[in-house]
Amino acid sequence: MDREAILFDSLAHLSDAVKGFSVEVIVINDSKTSNLVLNTEYDFVRVVNNPGKGVASARNFGASIAKSELLWFVDDDMWIGESLFKRALELHQKFPDSVFNFNWIYPGYLSKKIALIPFGRFLEDINFTTMKGWCRGNFWDDNELFKTDWLAGATLLISKTTYAKVNGYDSSFPLAGFEDYDFSVRVKKAGITSYIEPNYMAYHNEVNKTSLRGFLTRVRNNAITRKHGVSIGYKDQELKISLLKRTIYQIIGVLETPLLFICDNWPNLRALDFLYFRICHILIGYNGFKGYSTGK
């Protein structure tokens, strides 16, 4: 984890959302380097260590020790409000055997902050600041609850019985990325209906992921887990790279350090954003190739 301040913000919002309800909140500390100590105001939260075993393992571990039949996996940078919490309970009561994701956007303060920097404007340009943007290529309905074949663990509501039916997440995934794809496929194969609720919003406080270098780490990790997915049977997800493209990526690899230096010192001029965005796309393509090539 290693990001306690972000977690404390999320717990503060959650604490307000669940007032008057009896809930069990478990925080899985995935850090290899730090122990998490919570303030006394969060006495309803239990912290359990699961150092460095990956997000899939953390979710499975949390599910295994949870006492409730209803599980809600929430990333440590998600803000949950009262209306969303009540909607989650309502949906579970109505469709107890189904799985749910909830819409999210960046909180207002973060949207304003990233609009002031070139990489923040790049994130907005590729629509990476909303769940709808993350779902590009998949069906989306802005107006009402809709069925989906695509699930993400960031706001995943599921019964413990249903979770056990699909054997949870595959804990062989060492990093965050392709484990959601694998989980979604197995949920669909099991004949379980999945939904996205677009009208009730969580807020994704990714304040520590608004730099190009941090984003490239995410891209590499996603590619590493995709390669692992291919190795366990998802051959349709194999990344096929032509000899020409491989040669181009090798050249970009030599230029990566100076390109990153240029981006780190890029003038904050909107008129130059188009060129900055182009360099970002080049570096993202290369880092996807690098992650997939080194993944096992």
Same-domain pairing of 166 and 63: yes
Q: What is the pLDDT of residues 98-112, one digit of tens each?
A: 999 999 999 999 999
Same-domain pairing of 144 and 21: yes
Q: How far apart are CA 119 and CA 268, in angstroms?
A: 10
Q: Which domain holds residue 287?
A: 212-294
Q: What is the pLDDT of residues 64-74, one digit of tens each?
A: 999 999 999 99
Q: What is the pLDDT of residue 40?
A: 65
Q: How far apart are CA 196 and CA 212, in angstroms?
A: 29
Q: What is the pLDDT of residue 52?
A: 64
Q: What is the pLDDT of residue 48?
A: 86
Same-domain pairing of 78 and 22: yes
Q: How far apart are CA 292 and CA 296, in angstroms?
A: 8
Same-domain pairing of 250 and 191: no
Same-domain pairing of 63 and 8: yes
Domain count, the chain: 2
Q: How far apart are CA 31 and CA 49, in angstroms?
A: 8
Q: How far apart are CA 86 and CA 72, in angstroms?
A: 13
What CATH code is carried by the domain that includes residue 173? Answer: 3.90.550.10
Is the pTM higher than 0.75? The answer reads yes
Q: Angle at Cα 83 formed by Cα 80 and Cα 87, nearest 5°?
A: 95
Q: Of 163, 181, 204, which closes a domain?
A: 204
Same-domain pairing of 227 and 199: no
Positions of the chain with pLDDT under 70: 1-2, 31-34, 38-40, 51-52, 295-296
Same-domain pairing of 20 and 146: yes
Same-domain pairing of 102 and 11: yes
Residue whose token pair is 């919490």 = 85
